[in-house]
Structure 1
Amino acid sequence: MLRIHFTDADYAAVRLREGPDAMWETLLSLHALQQCDEALEFGRWRTEVARELDPVAADSLFPLAPPVGYSPDFLTPAGAEGFGSGLERVLATPAGRMVRELGRLRAPADRGRRTRPRPEHHPVRSPLHLLDQQRGHVRKQLREHITRARDA
C-alpha cells in the first residue's frame, strides 16, 4: 500500500482556482465523451455533444486524451488564464517535449500491448493542427458548459 503524508507546508501551498480551468475542462470533456459510464451525470451532455462533434476533430483529439491512462501534460499547461492563453502555451510547447509526451501514448489498437506508436505517425501533424482542433472543440461543444460550470 502506498501512503502519502502531507506536511503543514504542503497544505499551506495548496491553491484553489476561482473557476474551472479551460484546458483541463477540454481534456476531461474528451475523456468523458469516450466513456459510456456515468450516464446519469453525463448522458444528456454526451448525446448532445456527440451529435454535433466534428469527426475530423474527434479523430485528432481522442487519441490525445484516452479515457484511461496517460494524456500528454503539454495539453494542460500550468498558469494559463483562460482558453486563449492555454492554447498559446500549447502552441509554444517545445517540439522535443511534444514528441516525448506523444511518444508515451499508445495507439488505440495497441492499448493491450506494450508497444508505442512512433511520434511521427501520431494524428497530431503539427501544433497548429492541434490548436485548430482544440479551438473548434471548445467553440462548438464546451463554451456553454464551461460557462454554466463557472456560474455554478
Structure 2
Amino acid sequence: MTTLRGGAGLRIHFTAQDLVRTRISTRPDTLWELVLSLLRLQTLRPSGRLSPPVPPDVIEWRASTLSRLSGRALGQALNHHVLPLTPVSSYFPDFLTPGTGLADLAPGLDMVLSTPRERIGQELGILTTRSGTPSWGADLAAGNRDALHLLGATLRSYHATALAPCWPAITARIAAERTRLTGVLTTSGAEGSLSALRPFAEWHPTERILEARYPVAMDIHLQGRGLTLIPSWFCHATPVALADPALPPVLIYPITHDPPPAIDPAALTKLIGPTRAKVLTTITTGTPTSLIQHRTGISASQISRHAAVLRDNNLITEARHAGHTFYTRTPLGHVLTAGH
C-alpha cells in the first residue's frame, strides 16, 4: 500500500466505462481503518508543509490508545510484530488490506491470514527495500502457522482495544460522508462525485484523470474495472491507493472531522411520544413489567398497550413465562435510543 506523503503524484486514468462503474463503499472498511490507525499511532506529523492539521478527535484517540497500550503485553506485541509491517513510509503490504468495504473484522482477518505465501514474500520484499526487513518477515513469508496466528491475534486484540470503543462514532461519521458523496453522485454523476473529493484530489474532466499528491509517481489505468471510493476516519491529508495496480482499484480518502450536530435530548419523545419513550428506554434485556412499572409509574395496562406498539414496530421483543411478561430491546430499539 502506498501512502501519500510528499510531492510526487498519483494519477488515476478513467474511461467512460470506469465512470459508470465508480462506486462508494457502503460502510467503513475495518482493516483499512485498522492499518491507517497504526500509522496515526506512530506519528501525528502532517504529510507536508501545507497539510491540514490533525483533527482534535484523532489526537485525543491517539493519546487515549497509547495510554491503554503502555506497558501492556499488547503494546509490546504491536511494537515487535505489527508496527514493522506498517512503517510511516511510502509503502506497507497490500495483503494487510484485502477486499473493499469489509465491515466485520473476522472475514477480513481470514483473508489476510490466507494470503498465498508467494504474495506475502513478494510484498515483504518490497517493504524491505523501502524501510527495512521486519524481524519475523521470513516466518510470515514461509507461511509459518505460529507467525500467522500471532499476527491475527495481535490485530484482533488491537482492534478490540483501540477501534471498537470508538467504532460507533467512526461509523456515524463515515455514514454522513457517504450520504454526502452519494447525493452528489445521484445528482451530478460520477464526475461530480470525483470533483467533490477536493481538496484531497483533483478531477480533470478533459483528460478523465483523478490526480492527488503522492510520495512516488504512480499511474493507475482502470481499464474498465471502475473505482471504489472508501471514506476513512483515520486517513489524513492525502488519499491512499493499493500499491499493486493489478489489484481491484480502490481509493481511500480522508473525511472531514466536523463536530457532529448536537443531539436533542427530547428527540425520542418527539418521535414516539413521552410514555412510549419512557417504556422503551427502561427496557433493556429481559425486563419484567413490574420493573417498568416501578421505574416509570405507568400502570400495567398502559405498559401492555404501549409495549404492543413497540413490539409491532420491531423495537422490542416480548416473552411470557409463569404469568409474567418480559421485554428486550431489539437492535433497532437500541439504535433509536442511542442518543436519548
AA at the equivalent of 1:151? A
Q: Any idea what SS the aligned residue of 1:69 has? A: coil
Task: Report the Cα distance in structure 1 between the residues aligned to 2:13 and 2:38, rounded to whole angstroms.
Answer: 32
3-state secondary structure, aligned to 1:106? helix
**Cα distance change, pair 120–4 in 1 and its aligned pair in 2 (3 A):** closer
Give the C-alpha shift of residue 36 in structure 1.
2.7
| Percent of matched pairs sharing the same residue | 30
**Alignment check: 8 A CA contact 2:93 2:124 kept:** yes
Instruction: Please tell me the residue identity of whatever aligns with 1:85.
Output: P
Structure 1 gaps, min length 5: none
Give the structure 1 partner of residue 138 of structure 2: 120
Specify the alignment match of 1:40 in structure 2: 56
Alignment of 1:11-90 (within 5 A): 11-37=19-45, 38=54, 40-53=56-69, 54-79=75-100, 80-90=102-112
Q: Which residue of 1 aligns with 2:189?
A: none
What is the number of residues matched between the two proteins?
A: 145
Structure 1: distance between partners of 2:19 and 2:88: 29
Say if 2:28 and 2:103, in contact at 8 Å, map to a contact too: no
Unaligned runs of 5+ in 2: 1-7, 46-53, 70-74, 174-340
Q: Secondary structure at the match of 1:146?
A: helix
Higher relative contact order (CA 8 A, sep 6+): 1
| Residue 146 (structure 1) aligned with residue 146 (structure 2) | no
**Hey, what's the Cα distance between the residues in 1 that align with 2:60 and 2:79?**
18
Matched, 1:6 2:14: yes
Question: What secondary structure sits across from 1:104 in the alignment?
Answer: helix
Change (3 A) 1:132 1:6: same
Q: 1:100 to 1:140 in 2, by over 3 A?
A: same
Per residue, is there more helix in 1 or in 2?
Answer: 1
Normalising to structure 1: TM-score of the pair?
0.81
Checking the alignment, whether the CA contact within 8 Å between 2:27 and 2:103 is kept in structure 1 is no
Q: CA RMSD in A?
A: 2.6
Q: 1:31: Cα distance to partner?
A: 0.8
Q: TM-score, normalised by structure 2?
A: 0.39
Larger Cα-atom Rg: 2
Q: Which residue of 1 aligns with 2:115?
A: 93
Q: Which amino acid aligns with 1:24?
A: W
Letter in 2 for 1:95: R
